[in-house]
A and B are shown apart, each in its own frame.
Chain A
Amino acid sequence: MSEPILEVEGLVKHYPLTRGVVFRKQVGAVRAVDGVDFHLGRGETLGIVGESGCGKSTVAKTLVNLERPTAGSIRYKGEDITRLSGKALKSVRRNIQMVFQDPYTSLNPRMTVGDIIGEPYDIHPEVAPKGDRRRKVQDLLDVVGLNPEYINRYPHQFSGGQRQRIGIARGLALRPEIIVADEPVSALDVSVQAQVINLMDRLQSEFDLAYIFIAHDLSIVRHISDRVAVMYLGRIVETGRDAEIYDHPTHPYTQALLSAVPVPDPEAREHRERIILSGDVPSPTNIPSGCRFRTRCWKAQERCALEVPALAVPAWFEAAGGPAAHDSACHFAATVPIRRSAPGQVVPPEERPGGTV
């Protein structure tokens, strides 16, 4: 693997819950991100998957410095960007850009497309001399597959997929090395999603971009990612290369998540077995002790309530090697036989959960 350009260590983001208007008193905290470590290599794609409220979007916001982490470090080429401010922060920002989920709210309706894509040059005038900007913006429109003559149009004149292209063009303007994409296609129609994924794929090789690709759609994440991290309630519970995670998951949550994904193959439904998790995700204000997944886990034992499992290669796999030997935060990490029914899809482990709903 290439040398990491982004290293995240012990990332924590807590939002205090306060009561009282004049005299605020902290009564608790939403532990949105609660100790996350990962790294990203040049030109690599790291997919982050997880359900709503698992903290994946908060991670994205801290990476582009929209939120200051409560603790932990984010090192870009060795430099901790969480401590930066002013000029130094601004120049780091050039290199880490973001693509947003909602193409309807992420473009300012009062600005023309040209102004939106050109704004990065207004903020970082050193990148492009003034006279050059219009041409640069038109080039960007062309790169993302839009007509350069649309430069004077307003966002509401475009469809969702086209707006997302505009958002991507804005992200590209400063020629960043890293793009953080937070659910970039989940607001789009199925037939348009593939177009945008292809565009992102093409841009990655063209501009040597590294992506943090955040999504809840597991098949899309698998398609685009080199490595995948699965998040649950503010932590990464399992991470590894895409095939390791999708074909040899060892964490029960990952196994349940994969088995729950509906498979677009009706033949599969007769012989598929699903792990149906009981209950709901606990509130991030009140995280269970020990392993945070234990309240929904069919394997949970006393040890899980007492001891927080570390995210590491389980000892019993480490010796054996192979695809199961990847980081998994479970005391009882185990592989399950996976039957593949449709290409790119995974059908179900045989192990049955104790408490089905």
Chain B
Amino acid sequence: MLLEVRDLHVEFHTRDGVARAVNGVSYGVDAGETLAVLGESGSGKSVTAQAIMGILDIPPGRITGGEVVFQGRDLLKLREDERRRIRGAEMAMIFQDALSSLNPVLTVGDQLGEMFTVHRGMSRKEARARAIELMDRVRIPAARERVRQYPHQFSGGMRQRIMIAMALALEPALIIADEPTTALDVTVQAQVMELLAELQREYHMGLILITHDLGVVADVADRIAVMYAGRIVESAPVHDIYKAPAHPYTRGLLDSIPRLDQKGQELYAIRGLPPNLMNIPPGCAFHPRCPLARDVCRSDEPPLYEVSPTRGSACHFWRECLDE
């Protein structure tokens, strides 16, 4: 395993109380593999990623348990300066909002080149050449001229390409992409996802793709981890999940996609609201919204049951869910 997260716990201390954002998340990703982490807002999918990258705001955040093992080392035990060396060079992150992730007063060439001058000790001239090379790689037309432009002079899709170029600069072993295409238009989204998938294959990187979009997941992921209320509720190879989900939450998400044969009928809707992280329901966090819920769900928190050697579901009644 390139990266393995084990039983990670993260809390946020706010003036209204403690929000338990991540409650025992475990997942792993191999080199060359794409793991999609699927979840809604507040599911803890981004917080987990921030904890892996070491960019969680502490305080109010606090990692209260778990390990993040990357290439054999537990990152959570490293000193800040050691982590900084890993960040960017060995694991990199792509954010949703490329405009606010790029420095508006520096040219994109300077920002790309910085990766090489800081981490690789290259001269400015060399770095500039490498920046142009990278921009070519992510297929930004007229890279040689545009390297001198500022982020705001690029369109949303082009900015996201620049973010990808920055992430790729030092050829990291792992890339975490947090909703990389959510802010983009559909036609541009397709371009960017295609590029990302292609570069991943080429560099044989591990990719953690954080998203709420079931369509994007089906397009690129090898494995899926579905998160709800700070836990993984289902983890499986991508084909298995879409064929037959083993958790009622996953089933609900898939069923609420509008279907042609349902036109004019009511859409399936998961009832209720995502839980309050200050006050997560006891037992299975999903039970207030679950059609399969029984008494045991209200009292006992389900472990991640093994559905098959490659597949797990945190539902007491996963068999029933599969059969449905």
- A-to-B contact residues, CB < 8 Å: 51-52, 159, 161-162, 189-195, 197-198, 201-202, 216, 218-220, 222-223, 242, 256-257, 259-269, 274, 276-277, 280-281, 340, 342-345, 357
Contacts and interface: CB of A to CB of B under 8 A. Distances in A.
A189 B41 contact: yes
A51 B218 contact: no
B253 interface: yes
B270 interface: yes
30 contacts: A51-B187, A52-B185, A159-B273, A159-B274, A189-B41, A190-B40, A190-B253, A191-B40, A191-B256, A220-B258, A223-B267, A256-B187, A257-B186, A261-B186, A262-B189, A262-B216, A263-B215, A263-B218, A264-B218, A264-B242, A264-B254, A265-B218, A268-B218, A276-B191, A277-B187, A277-B191, A280-B157, A343-B261, A343-B262, A357-B195
A189 to B, nearest CB: 4
Contacts of B220: 269
Contacts of B269: 191, 194-195, 197-198
B185 A198 contact: no
Given A264-B215, A280-B157, 18 more contacts: A51-B186, A190-B256, A191-B253, A194-B267, A194-B268, A197-B258, A201-B267, A260-B189, A261-B215, A264-B254, A264-B257, A265-B218, A266-B218, A267-B239, A343-B261, A344-B258, A357-B139, A357-B194
Given A189-B41, A191-B274, A262-B219, A344 B191 contact: no
Interface in B171-219: 185-191, 193-195, 212-219
Contact of A269 (B218, B256, B259): B218
B212 A190 contact: yes
B61 interface: no
Contact of B239 (A257, A260, A266): A266
Task: Pick from B218, B252, B256, B258 the residue with the most CB of A within 10 Å.
Answer: B258
A278 B155 CA distance: 13
A141 B241 CA distance: 38
A219 B212 CA distance: 15
A165 to B, nearest CB: 12
A260 B186 contact: yes
B260 A189 contact: no
Contact of B267 (A51, A52, A197, A345): A197
A262 B218 CA distance: 8
Main SS at interface, chain B? helix
A276 B194 contact: yes
Contacts of A260: 186-187, 189-190
Nearest to B252: A191
Contacts of B267: 194, 197-198, 201, 223
Given A216-B186, A357-B139, A222 B219 contact: no
Task: Pick from A190, A193, A265, A345 the residue with the most CB of B within 10 Å.
Answer: A190
A3 to B, nearest CB: 22
B213 A219 contact: no
A195 B269 CA distance: 5
A161 B273 contact: yes
A201 B215 CA distance: 24
A265 B187 contact: no
Contacts of A198: 266-267, 269
Contacts of B41: 189
Contacts of B185: 51-52, 216, 281
A269 B258 CA distance: 19
Contacts of A265: 218, 242
A219 B218 contact: no
Interface in B55-96: none
B53 interface: no
Contacts of B168: none
B193 to A, nearest CB: 8
A190 B213 CA distance: 8
A48 B265 CA distance: 20
B239 A344 contact: no
A191 B149 CA distance: 41
